Structure 1
Amino acid sequence: MKEDKQINENIIEGRNAVLEAFRSGKPIDKLFVLDGCQDGPIRTIVREAKKHDTILQFVTKERLSQISETGRHQGVIAYAAAYEYADVEDMLKLAESKGEDPFLILLDNIEDPHNLGAIIRTANLAGAHGVIIPKRRAVGLTATVAKTSAGALNYTPVAKVTNLAKTMESLKEKGLWFVCADMGGEEMYDLNLTGPIGLIIGNEGEGVSRLVKETCDFTARIPMNGDIDSLNASVAAGVLAYEIVRQRRK
């Protein structure tokens, strides 16, 4: 994952500031706490983090100093999301309100904020009803993501879930089926990509994880005619999203 320093637009430092952020309902992606610190204010902050299901990491004083922008972190630093997260149910309601079959894009551990922002932009332009990202091992809605999305974050809901495979199983019960991008799959032009669908795009280096791939109904291969064997994650998302658009228009 990118160094924490690069996601510095949304750092909140200091006990009062972090506690107020939680209590105001501001979405917090991750909380760093000085390991071994057990005083009252810190315990209160940790309790709030657990209540909001925030990723919690206990780190050394040196690590906190490395992340800190102000040098006055008081043993606690939070990473806030630049935008509010949506619920998956909101996406299904959006599709229903438009009289369309749901079209969702699910991202399996995308770590580069530029890739996430570009995929959200593509999702908006391709008419997807939302983007779903996992809580762990993935970038959240940082200011860099918002900027790269070129305004799409204002219109395309993004949900953050604890378990991607379980979310897929739940959506299958509501009629969706899933296709993931994978070099070992069928060529995308040979697949029927119409109807209520979820498109899975994997991690930049490792691709789609085993459990998520096993939960998919199909795997789609993008034809490659060059000398290298993979596309950037956001480009792959664009190619497959627009094959879905093409088939829907037929």
Structure 2
Amino acid sequence: MAGNSQRRGRRSGDGKKTATAGTGGKGRRALAGRGATPPAEARPGHPAQRRAQAEVRRRTERDRSRQRAEEAPELLLGRNPVVEALRAQIPATALYVVTGDVSRGGTDERITEAITLAADRGLPLLEVGKGEFDRMSNGALHQGIGLQVPPYQYAHPDDLLDLAGNSGRPPLIVAMDGVTDPRNLGAVVRSAAAFDAHGVVVPQRRAVGMTASAWRTSAGAAARLPVARAVNLARALGSYQDAGLQTVGLAGDGDVDVHEYDGFADPVALVVGAEGTGLSRLVRERCDVVVRIPITRDTESLNVSVAAGIALYAAAAARR
């Protein structure tokens, strides 16, 4: 009914509606909206955000657990591994032998040799009961003997540059991107020492460290060649580039054959990738050049330690 409208407009004398009162821009601001809708992971209370936060917590706890394990002494188990470790002069703090096996050492020459080698080095010989040793080894097969190995003392990536500067030779450093098998790490350390490299760099996360298994595989080379740990491998490679090193990646789809690359006589950081996945994207972007090892088509790829050994041989040949 005319005259009963609650709207804020007014009507002219002939009953026609005129312009309504304005909102002072409030309506326009409301229509503007609040921007793009954030992703589900960023919305407070959203199930996707809770899942993402739970995954971050799990990853953090895994990293902390791994760090705690690396900071604790490692127990190398088994007769052959212990003897090989003692022969390779791996740093150790004690030799554990199950009670009774010391007196029966003559029945197994490996236990006898382990006891003799440990005594020659002045290592404490500790006898433990079988039940106690089962607990110490978390139920793993130990064959009645174990060698306690202290945590590895890593160098800083810059320490390798200082070592190279004092050697009178162009720097040659091996960087390992995400390698998780300790035997591959030990084999690369052994090859790096054999071909006069100045050290090996490994990432702090998502990669294996210098475990007792890596020590043993290096056949004593880890006692002569420093292994450094980088918080961020790509950033460490960047600092090597700033110091004048060429970063040379190694991958099956590289740009040039390894024997045709002419820069190995210069300061070089050789970068090798993880088993299967190869170089990560960020690390590969830090490489000045990526070389490949030509192989037959029937072979999909080479083991990382074998590939590193071939490239290090090429570098050593270029420097002679």
What's the TM-score, normalizing by structure 2? Answer: 0.53
Ranked by relative contact order (alpha carbons within 8 Å, sequence separation 6 or more), the top structure is 1
Larger Rg over CA atoms: 2
Q: Deviations over 1:157-194 (max 9, x none)?
A: 00111111000111111111111111221111221122
* Residue 201 of structure 2 corresponds to residue 99 of structure 1: no
Q: Which runs of 4+ in 1 moved over 2 A?
A: 67-71, 80-83
Rate the CA distance shift 1:70–1:225 in 2: closer, same or farther, 3 A: closer
Rate the CA distance shift 1:113–1:9 in 2: closer, same or farther, 3 A: farther
AA at the equivalent of 2:307: A
What residue is the counterpart of 1:195 in the other structure? Answer: 266
Q: Which runs of 5+ in 2 are unaligned?
A: 1-65, 76-134, 140-148
Q: Which runs of 5+ in 1 are unaligned?
A: 12-66, 72-79
Q: CA deviation at 1:97?
A: 1.5
What residue is the counterpart of 2:251 in the other structure? Answer: 182
CA distance in 2, matches of 1:168, 1:68: 40
- The 8 Å contact of residues 176 and 196 in structure 1, kept in 2 or not, is answered as yes
What residue is the counterpart of 1:246 in the other structure? Answer: 317
CA distance in 1, matches of 2:286, 2:292: 17
2:279 counterpart SS class: coil
1:98 counterpart SS class: coil
Q: CA deviation at 1:121?
A: 0.4
What's the TM-score, normalizing by structure 1? Answer: 0.68
Q: CA deviation at 1:90?
A: 2.0
What residue is the counterpart of 2:214 in the other structure? Answer: 145
AA at the equivalent of 2:310: V
- The 8 Å contact of residues 81 and 141 in structure 1, kept in 2 or not, is answered as no
What residue is the counterpart of 1:27 in the other structure? Answer: none
Q: CA RMSD in A?
A: 2.3
The equivalences for 1:42-53 within 5 A come to none
Q: CA deviation at 1:225?
A: 2.1
The equivalences for 1:74-153 within 5 A come to 82-153=151-222
Q: CA deviation at 1:205?
A: 1.1
Q: Deviations over 1:125-166 (max 9, x none)?
A: 010000000011111111010011000111100011111100
Q: Matched residue pairs, number?
A: 181
Q: CA deviation at 1:89?
A: 2.3
- The 8 Å contact of residues 182 and 219 in structure 1, kept in 2 or not, is answered as yes
* Residue 284 of structure 2 corresponds to residue 213 of structure 1: yes
